[in-house]
Each structure stands twice: as structure tokens, then as C-alpha cells.
Structure 1
């Protein structure tokens, strides 16, 4: 399996995307919005944080 690594700028973009999706998730949850939006924003935030947390960064 080839080495999978994230560049620092991509990790930053994913982290910011996770923060924005988490914020939107909380807003939809508080407003009791459509359930499908909870799934979309929740899964987006979770996936981004898992990628940033589990895939190593390059050290160049």
C-alpha cells in the first residue's frame, strides 16, 4: 500500500471545513431543521476530523 500523507495546507483546509460543518450541524440541530442536513453536516465534520487525526502529515 502506498504511503498516504497529508500536506499541511490540506490538513488545515480539512480542519476548517470540519469546524464549519460542525458549526452548521449545531445550528441546524438547535433550530430543529431537516434531519438530512444533520446527517450531511455531521458526517462531513466527522470524516474530516478522522482524516486529519489518522493520516500523518508530511514533514518536508
Structure 2
């Protein structure tokens, strides 16, 4: 079975996606927007950061 790893490009894209989702989360939270948007952006940011934290990068 092939080992699961991230390339630097995919890791960078995940990091940018997490940053954008976190920014949108904060904007919706400050504007007291719909709760479903908070969940959506929060889960996207959390999943991206967990993938970056637990999946190793290739050299």
C-alpha cells in the first residue's frame, strides 16, 4: 500500500484555503451572520489544518 503524503503544492493550497475559510468565518461571526455559514467555514478551516498537521509532506 502506498504511503499517504502531501506534495508542497497541495500543502500550500490547503494552507491558503484554511486561511481564506478562517477569514470568512471571522467576518460572518463579527457580522452575526447565519449559523450554517459559521459551521461551513469553521469545518473547512479545521479539516484543512488537521490534514496539514497529521499527513506528512514529501521531500
Alignment length (residue pairs) = 59
> Counterpart in 2 of 1:46?
46
How far apart are the structure 1 equivalents of 2:18 and 2:10?
12
How far apart are the structure 1 equivalents of 2:46 and 2:15?
10
How far apart are the structure 2 equivalents of 1:35 and 1:2?
40
Q: CA RMSD for the aligned pairs?
A: 0.8
Q: Normalising by structure 1, report the TM-score.
A: 0.95
Q: State the shift of 1:22 in Å.
A: 0.1
> Counterpart in 2 of 1:56?
56
> Counterpart in 2 of 1:33?
33
- Does residue 11 (structure 1) correspond to residue 11 (structure 2)? The answer is yes
Q: Normalising by structure 2, report the TM-score.
A: 0.96
Q: State the shift of 1:19 in Å.
A: 0.2
| Gap runs ≥5 in structure 1 | none
- Moved segments of 4+, more than 2 Å: none
